[in-house]
Structure 1
């Protein structure tokens, strides 16, 4: 079974308008409401690709209920902790000549709520996959990634981590199955500028030396690179297409990689290609990638 954790899920209200003028009434010409959060995106794309997962995290209020309704519409299973105080956040993303984002706060998460999440994670079994992704809200312990991985250490659970800087670096001693920085995040960690695919391997190896098993580096239009724990490095340029929306593309790559990994019984190249095409399919669409969109790109690789 696959599980995802999103600590601070959201409703994303996405609007487009010709121009955004501060201090005036602005009228949109397009609007969309989506459940948001990195783990949420992974669960939705997994569902789109035909694989079940359970989304874990914290929700509250009427917005929390709406997140669950919209997740269910995608066929994704939710097992959220219902927080008593506050409401799940609403993030506004206004796309005009420039893109502006206004992100909400989220609910008040108590120590009892955190214990409830730990209890759900304690029920995972050997062979399960767990995806932990995204930033940690201020009301949670800053080392919660480490606490979770320490708690599950040695139980045969493969853990995927998609996070920035210290959140990622600090969990490497627990040997995550997969880490997925982009080239800028990897550069921040190792103190280098990484602009081309052929520059990635030595820096990805640094993460492996510190404990990561597989390192998948997304690079936008430059493509992606996989440095696996076994076998040769795999790299590819990005599929051709019109960029529509980059939000969720990295999360989609994770979902695609896991789908390819499962369906190929652990073949790295298949998993990598599925990940690259799934990330691109989301970037080329207003919505997250669907199976037909991914397969159309795969046919061109």
Structure 2
């Protein structure tokens, strides 16, 4: 089973408008509400690719009810912890030719609720996969990823981590199965700017020296690089298409990679499916469906277990 954890999930209210003028009334040309949060995005994409997962995290209020129902409608299993106060945050994303985001704060997470999450994670078994993705709310310990991985260390659980800087660096000693920094984040971890693929490969190797097994470096319009645990290097340019949406593309890449690996056991195929999933989401208004991904893959889907 694959489990995902989203510490600060959301309802994403996505608006298209011709022009956003501060201080004036603007009217929408289109609007949608989606379940949000990086771990939740991974769960939805896994479902789209035919893989079951269970979404963990915290929800509150009527927005939490709506979020859970939306994820269930997308085919995701949920096992959220319900908080007694507050409500799941609403993030507003406005597109008027450029993207403007206003992210909500989210509810306070109590120590009791955190212990309940630990209890759920204690049920994971050997060869399960766990995805830890996204930011940490201010009400939670800043080393929560590290505490979770220390708790699960030595139990044969494969963990994918999509986080930034210290959140990521501090967990490498627990040998995560997969980490997915983008090229800018990779450079920031070493206090430098990486300009060539060779530099990125070298610094990905440095993260492996610190404990990471597989390092997937996303580079937006320049594609991605994978450095595997057996030192195989995969490079790819992204498929051609019109970028319509930047939200969830990285999460889709993680879901595609995990699906490809679990279906085939071949890192090169996992990498290709990850690229196709991430790109397909970038070319659509939300998370891409299986048909869009297969079209970009350009190969027989049965070779990828789809």
TM range (shorter): over 0.9
Task: Report the Cα offset of residue 99 of structure 1.
Answer: 1.7
Structure 2 matches for 1:141-290, cutoff 5 A?
141-264=141-264, 266-290=265-289
- Give how far 1:198 is off: 3.5
How far off its partner does 1:190 sit?
Answer: 1.5
Shift of 1:300: 6.8
SS of equivalent to 1:26: coil
Distance 1:195 1:130 in 2: 32
Which residue is equivalent to 1:49? 49
Q: CA deviation at 1:231?
A: 4.3
Which whole-Å CA distance do the structure 2 matches of 1:201 and 1:105 have between them?
A: 36
Distance 1:111 1:21 in 2: 42
CA contact (8 A) 2:12 2:93 kept: yes
Q: How does 1:11-22 map to 2 (within 5 A)?
A: 11-22=11-22
Q: Which residue of 2 aligns with 1:98?
A: 98
Query: Matches of residues 61-72 of structure 1 in structure 2 within 5 Å?
Result: 61-72=61-72
Q: Which moved more, 1:282-291 or 1:122-131?
A: 282-291
Q: Is the 8 A contact 1:175 1:211 kept in 2?
A: yes
Tell me the residue number matched to 1:2: 2
State the shift of 1:292 in Å.
Answer: 1.1
The CA distance in 2 between the partners of 1:241 and 1:297, in whole Å, is 10
Cα distance in 1 between the residues matched to 2:159 and 2:232: 22
Q: Deviations over 1:66-85 (max 9, x none)?
A: 00011011101110000111
**Aligned pairs, how many?**
300
The offset of 1:194, in angstroms, is: 2.1
Match of 2:39 in 1: 39
Q: CA deviation at 1:97?
A: 3.5
Please list every run of 5 or more consecutive structure 2 residues that lacks an aligned counterpart in the other structure: 301-306
Q: CA deviation at 1:191?
A: 2.1
Alignment of 1:95-134 (within 5 A): 95-134=95-134
Moved over 4 A (4+): none
In the aligned structure 2, how far is the partner of 1:99 from the partner of 1:180? Answer: 23
The answer on whether the counterparts of 2:247 and 2:286 sit within 8 Å (CA) in structure 1 is no
2:290 maps to 1:295: no
Query: Residues of 2 paired with 1:59 and 1:196: CA distance?
Result: 42
Q: Which runs of 5+ in 1 are unaligned?
A: none
Q: Distance in 2 between matches of 1:200 and 1:143?
A: 26
